[in-house]
Amino acid sequence: MTLRLGTRGSPLALKQAEMVRDALIAAHGWDSGAVEIVTISTKGDRDRVRPLTEMGGKAVWTKELDRALLAGETDISVHSMKDVESIRPEGLGIAAMLERADVRDKLIGAASLDDLPDGAVIGTASPRRVAQVKGLRPGLRTDLLRGNIATRIAAVENGKFDATLLASAGLDRMDQGHVGHHVELDVMLPAPAQGAIGIDARSDDAATRAALAAINHVDTFDCVMAERAFVAGLNGDCHSPVAALAQLDGDHLHLSVEIYSEDGSDRLQDKISLDRSDTETPKQLARDMLAAAPDSIKKLFG
Ligand SMILES: NCc1[nH]cc(CCC(=O)O)c1CC(=O)O
């Protein structure tokens, strides 16, 4: 039997697909051909110009993979969990996650945001990073920069942008761990699910789900599910600047969350402790925060 693994074709996506393939082969002692990588082009890959917010949100990364999986053309899909909408389509479900990598963002182009002069332009496509940068340094400017990791590093190197922000996890996976400077968690809280690789399977495919259970990193799974529950409770979409990080402490999770207005001038934050498999409390926290939020924030959510 071969397991067909669906993935996007970007260098990072392919690398992550290989990590999942290798983990499955190692866990089950399968032969090297047992997992076949099937590359599927997504709308997000084909259109590198328009912002995600104009193209249909995060689903631009997953829609074609979801369709192939539901149609039985593939058996699993590998995703950056950060790019997966908090509600999965009927019939699919995240079955496993690999151990989470470094969750921090990295700044490329300067050692810290404080080192950039007023007027400097940060290239990013992320509403969260825009709000965080402007909230911390209202004098900095941001402009749309999309594309894969190499494109974004090059845009700073060739002077099109003064700086950019990238997830440390992606840089490490692409052997670019020497690039950029970490931004600490108390300066910029990461995106929900940042640094986690997830594997989707059909809900009724018990055999595949059992095979995936062998490579699931339960601590990562519980933390990321709590962060995703917070986003689900916000009814957030790709317009929504939100940061969340759950960290494990015994059988409890500490969940830190922040939501912002577009320019970061308004920011709400909270930190709660919850049982590790409780996805209801993060949802309720989201609803309570939104109810108390100023219009500048409220209008960006569900
Ligand atoms: N939105 C694109 C995306 N999705 C996942 C990663 C990095 C890898 C990860 O967070 O696991 C990136 C690039 C980035 O934000 O720098």
Domain end (from 131, 159, 182): 182
> Ligand 1 pocket, 170 CB below 6 A?
yes
Residue 261 has pLDDT above 90, yes or no: yes
Q: How far apart are CA 18 and CA 24, in angstroms?
A: 10
Interval between CA 205 and ligand 1 midpoint (Å): 28
Q: Within this chain, do residues 161 and 282 fall inside the same structural domain, yes or no?
A: no
Q: How far apart are CA 21 and CA 4, in angstroms?
A: 10
User: Which atom of ligand 1 approaches the CA of 167 most closely?
Assistant: 16
Q: How far apart are CA 245 and CA 224, in angstroms?
A: 8
Interval between CA 83 and ligand 1 midpoint (Å): 7
Residue 177 has pLDDT above 80, yes or no: yes
> Ligand 1 pocket, 169 CB below 6 A?
yes
- Residues acting as catalytic residues: 83
Q: Within this chain, do residues 10 and 75 fall inside the same structural domain, yes or no?
A: yes
Rounded to the nearest angstrom, the gap between the alpha carbon of residue 246 and the centroid of all alpha carbons in its chain is: 14
ipTM of the complex: 0.96
Q: Is 261 a member of any domain?
A: yes
52 falls in which pLDDT band (50, 70, 90)? Answer: low
Identify the CA nearest to 95 among candidates 73, 71, 78, 74. 78
Residue 236 has pLDDT above 80, yes or no: no
How many domains, the chain? 3
Identify the CA nearest to 30 among candidates 39, 20, 45. 20
Identify the CA nearest to 270 among candidates 252, 287, 295. 287
Look at residue 238 in the predicted model and tell me its pLDDT.
63
Look at residue 1 in the predicted model and tell me its pLDDT.
73
> Ligand 1 pocket, 198 CB below 6 A?
no
User: Encoding tokens for residue 274?
Assistant: 């919850």
Give the CA radius of gyration of the chain. 19
The amino acid that residue 222 corresponds to is D
The amino acid that residue 131 corresponds to is A
Domain that holds residue 238: 218-302
